Every structure is written in C-alpha cells, then in structure tokens.
Amino acid sequence: MTPEGTRIRALRYAAKLLGGVPALAKRLGVLPAVVDGWLKGKPELPDAEFLLVVDIILDHNGRPRG
C-alpha cells in the first residue's frame, strides 16, 4: 500500500468519525473543498494535517496507556 493510500484512508475514517467532511474540515481549520481535494489525492495531504488526522483517530478510539 502506498503512503498516499494510507493517508486517504485515514482521512476518510476521520471524516466518518466526526460526522462528515465539513466537520473534519472545521477541526483541521481548512475549507471542506480542501479536504475534498485531499480525498482525491490532489494535492497530497500534508504531513502536519495527516498527523492531526491521526490524533483525531487516536482520540476517538482511545490512546494506549503506558
């Protein structure tokens, strides 16, 4: 699997967890159209935003303790 594929899958999952693209866009501080572009891979989701998406997923699913 390519890194881009993983980023897009994570982005889709985070949007699902938050209730959709508009909610994810608001959380990331970008316009929904930007998230839509990232979901299409154009442009590629930047590293900083990808890490925020990972944080959203971890926060929702519970961070491991220890």
pTM (predicted TM-score): 0.85
Whether 10 is in a domain gets the answer yes
Tell me which long-range contacts 6-12 makes (C-beta under 8 A, separation of at least 24): 7/38, 7/44, 7/45, 7/50, 7/53, 8/38, 8/39, 8/41, 8/45, 10/50, 10/53, 10/54, 10/57, 11/35, 11/38, 11/39, 11/45, 11/50, 11/53, 12/39
Instruction: Please tell me whether residue 29 adopts helix, strand or coil conformation.
Output: coil
The per-residue pLDDT for 64 is 61
Number of compact structural domains in the chain: 1
Whether 28 is in a domain gets the answer yes
Q: What is the pLDDT of residues 27-66, one digit of tens each?
A: 999 999 999 999 998 998 999 999 999 999 999 887 665 4
Whether 66 is in a domain gets the answer no
Whether 52 is in a domain gets the answer yes
Whether residue 4 has pLDDT greater than 70: no
Whether 63 is in a domain gets the answer no
Domain residues for the domain of 23 are: 3-57
Whether 51 is in a domain gets the answer yes
Whether 65 is in a domain gets the answer no
